[in-house]
Amino acid sequence: MIKTPFQEIFKTKYPIIQAGMGPYNTERLATAVAKAGGLGLISTVGMGSFELPGLGHFRYSAIFRDAPPSELVTQSIEYVVDNLQDAPGAKFGVNIPVSEEFIPTASEIIHTVIDLCKSRPDIRKKLQVIVTSAGDPLPWAKDPQGKMLPTSIAIKKELPYVIWCHVVPSVRAAKRVERAGADVVIASGREGGAHCSWRDVSSMVLIPEVVKNVKLPVVAAGGFADGLSLAAALAMGAIGIQMGTRFIATKESDFEPIWKEGLIKATEEDTLVARGFFGPMRFLRNTRAIELVNATLRDAPDLYRGIPTGSSDEIIKLEVSGLTNLFKGDYENTPILGGVVAGRIHDIPSVAELLKNIMAEAELQLRSINKYLVK
């Protein structure tokens, strides 16, 4: 049996987080993960609206009805809570991007989560975690002197019982998480799917450096999919893993069939990074991804120098128009997000089967490497 500080912190059976992955809300997936013993997360990125250059107001209307983010996140939270009534120990959380483009929506969603937890004991009992990502954690915290930062919402002040995690791509960002007063750092290497870092730092380099440089517990993300990678994360000093791409290819996943099928077909060479809505994004290689890379080379070349750069009208239009192909089953012309670890995904199990197999494989691997220790 494997037990790490993760289980003590999050009160789950397994040291595994299911990442928040847009554009879906992942409510069915989060429920399945929580029931199976992991930590499931509702994704909120698709719940917001964006003012896009040249296109005006954009919402994922093909996935979500045209309603305020507060209403959409409330509906998803209630769905998960209702479906966890037969699982007393199950816990879940909400993932909220706090990038500059998403701050108005993030603020509304965080306020809504706080209000729901304060007013609804049934929700407070199950919703135990808030994960912020894709931005700076400090505006959502108190400063070291205990004063509120300008326009901030102090997550831990409002919900002291909640476990607050923040996803980071660098040691520098991890130190800001520590300063913000969060509970856990999720260190994500650039090989992860969807939103990724401007700088090309892999999980193998990032995770041990974050572990060494902060006192907070560290969860490893970016390239984790099975027991071997869980064992590797623990060997690097992490207390557990966060998986995104691997959870897409499960029976309970909220994602469309063409997304899951694309992951099964992909090899470790079949991903590309291009400029997206929220900085760089990693896509599965297809016709639309190549078009996005070509547009990035023309309109946002500094991305490949690790320098933050904005999206052009062409990049945004390619992404938005591509999303409409998702429901047509048009794989080649849809922007399909996924990590490099797609090359290690070869089946579509149930969530329970996946977690059970990961834990068994990790335990076997950790026991087997003892043979390399000699007196």
Place of tokens 């409510």: 27
| β-bridge pairing 127-133 and 92-97 | parallel
85-108: pLDDT as tens digits: 999 999 999 999 998 878 888 999
Q: Do 123 and 81 form a contact (C-beta atoms < 8 A)? A: yes
Checking if the pLDDT of 56 tops 70, the result is no
Model confidence band, residue 151 (pLDDT cutoffs 50, 70, 90): very low
DSSP string, 224-282: --SHHHHHHHHHTT-SEEEESHHHHSSTT--S-HHHHHHHHH--TT-EEEEEETTEEEE
What is the pLDDT averaged over residues 212-229?
98
CA-to-CA distance for 189 and 170, rounded, in angstroms?
8
298-357: pLDDT as tens digits: 999 999 888 988 888 888 888 877 877 878 889 999 999 999 999 999 999 999 999 999
Average pLDDT, whole number, for the chain?
91
Residue 130 has which token pair?
């808030």
What is the pLDDT averaged over residues 224-249?
98
> What is residue 55's predicted lDDT score, i.e. its pLDDT?
54
Checking if the pLDDT of 146 tops 60, the result is no
CA-to-CA distance for 165 and 246, rounded, in angstroms?
20
Percentage of the residues of the chain whose pLDDT score is greater than 90: 71
> What is residue 273's predicted lDDT score, i.e. its pLDDT?
96
Checking if the pLDDT of 147 tops 60, the result is no
Q: Higher pLDDT residue, 143 or 256? A: 256
14-54: pLDDT as tens digits: 999 999 998 889 999 999 999 999 999 999 988 876 655 55
CB-facing half-sphere around the CA of 83: CA atoms within 13 A: 18
The CATH class for the domain spanning 5-255+347-372 reads alpha beta
263-282: pLDDT as tens digits: 999 999 999 999 987 789 99
What is the pLDDT averaged over residues 280-306?
94
Place of tokens 């897409």: 248
Checking if the pLDDT of 152 tops 80, the result is no
Type of residue at 90:
A
Checking if the pLDDT of 145 tops 90, the result is no
Residue of 337, 318, 326 lying closest to 54 (CA atoms): 318
> Which helix (H) or strand (E) is 10 found in, with range?
helix 5-10
Residue of 317, 234, 243 lying closest to 277 (CA atoms): 317
Q: Do 89 and 126 form a contact (C-beta atoms < 8 A)? A: no
Residues of the chain with CATH 3.20.20.70: 5-255+347-372
Evaluate if pTM is beyond 0.85.
yes
229-240: pLDDT as tens digits: 999 999 999 999
What one-character DSSP code corresponds to residue 134?
S
